[in-house]
Homo-oligomer: A and B are copies of this chain.
Amino acid sequence: MASPNPLKKALKKEGLRYTQQRQSIWDEMCATDEHRDAEEIYLSLRNEGMNVSRATVYRTIDVLVKNNLVRKLELGDGRARYEHKMDSGHHDHLICVQCGKIEEFMDETIEERQDQIVDDLGFKLIRHIHQLFVICNDCQ
């Protein structure tokens, strides 16, 4: 009864077909809480014996992002990373410039100030990127 599959729901809403590839890619996205790029997801699927193409990985990720099941991270190094949004609330990221490790943070004060700034200008906030580039514990 309860809809157990958010992917199916999203596909239905969009009038898209439910396919093996789309399910596999979504499963793979949910398999870890890491922040992986499209190539890593593609290679994981291949290693598991799944025959899927890079194009389909990119196409499916687009659907997932559009339907709020996955978040896209732009770290400014030319490769987008992705994380599923199943169990986590909103957060932003700390990225170690040495080892690349990614940590998460969430600060209510900052979130409020952001809204305030946008309000004061009469704009409408759509989304934000807030990334702290650091040297982590292990790297100092």
Chain A residues with CB under 8 Å of chain B are: 74, 76, 94, 96-97, 103, 105, 107, 109-110, 113-114, 117-118, 121-137, 140
A76 to B110, CA, bound (A): 21
The 26 listed contacts between A and B (C-beta, < 8 Å) are A74-B74, A74-B76, A94-B117, A94-B118, A97-B126, A103-B121, A109-B110, A110-B110, A110-B114, A114-B132, A117-B132, A118-B132, A121-B136, A121-B137, A122-B137, A123-B134, A123-B135, A123-B136, A124-B135, A124-B140, A127-B133, A128-B130, A129-B131, A129-B133, A130-B130, A130-B131
Q: Is the CB of A123 within 8 A of B109?
A: no
